[in-house]
Every structure is written in structure tokens, then in C-alpha cells.
Amino acid sequence: MGSSPGAWMMKELTVKEQIEMEFGPLWSGGDTVTVGDRIYTAIELKRALDLLADDVLGIDLQALPNGLFAFRFYDGDDRRIVVFVLDRELNIVRELRAHIAEWLEDEYYKSGIEAFLADRMVGMLRRKVKGENG
């Protein structure tokens, strides 16, 4: 009973909820983002950030206030959705990570070996987020 009145009504957000609240649903951002006088795609950002592994798959990009932007991607090495918030010089000023199972729930645990195949996981996630069957 050591909590303050009304504390029971306060719920700490999961990282997944925080990502969706701050940046919208996955794939709600764009395919490109303008940084200064340069337009970046997810592939160009992967290259610029030295994220060249095949299991790093871009999700979306978003311009943010104060010259910042967000790059969301799937990191298949640890099976997490990652958000990098970057400045104009491509310095990471903030990072959020949430396990893909937070989105896929039971589907993740039933996926077997596919859990280790980044393209399959991202496809499964995209279908779930977009409300598609399959």
C-alpha cells in the first residue's frame, strides 16, 4: 500500500507501445527522409550507418521536429524492431528496441525456424500490422 493515490491507474508503457505512440504504427512512415539537402532511403541509411547485414531490414523513415528523424528497422540478429532517432550528422541521439514477439505474440512462438529468417519475420509482421491474412 505504499503507492500514491491513483497510482494504480498509471500504467507504464511497453517499448512497443512507446514506439507506436511516438512514431505511429509500423510502416506508417515514408520510404525516404530529407536530411539537410540530401534525401535518404532506408537502403542508403543502412549503408551510411554500416548496417549492411542481410538480417537488417528497413521498415520506415520519419522526419521529426528540430532537424531530427527516425529510422525504424528490423534487426534479425536479436529479433527486435529498432528505432534510431538521428540528427543531421547521422548521430544516434536515441534508440528504442522491442522484441518482434510483442507484435506477433503467439505467431512468433509458433514460427519455428522462420524466427531466424529476417525476411520471413518481417513479412509476417507486415501482414499482421496491415491486417492481411496469410
Joined together, the cell numbers standing for residue 29 give 512512415
Is residue 43 domain-resident? Answer: yes
Total structural domains in the chain? 1
pLDDT score at 5: 54
Radius of gyration of the chain (CA): 17
Is residue 108 domain-resident? Answer: no
Q: Which residues of the chain fall short of a pLDDT of 50?
A: 1
Contact between 83 and 96 (Cβ < 8 Å): yes
pLDDT (tens digit per residue) in 66-95: 999 999 999 999 999 999 999 999 999 999
Q: What is the pTM of this model?
A: 0.88
pLDDT score at 8: 56
pLDDT score at 1: 47
- The CA-atom distances, in angstroms, between 107 and each of 21, 72, 82, 110, 121 are 23, 21, 20, 5, 10
pLDDT score at 97: 98
Domain of residue 92: give its range: 13-100
Is residue 127 domain-resident? Answer: no
Is residue 106 domain-resident? Answer: no
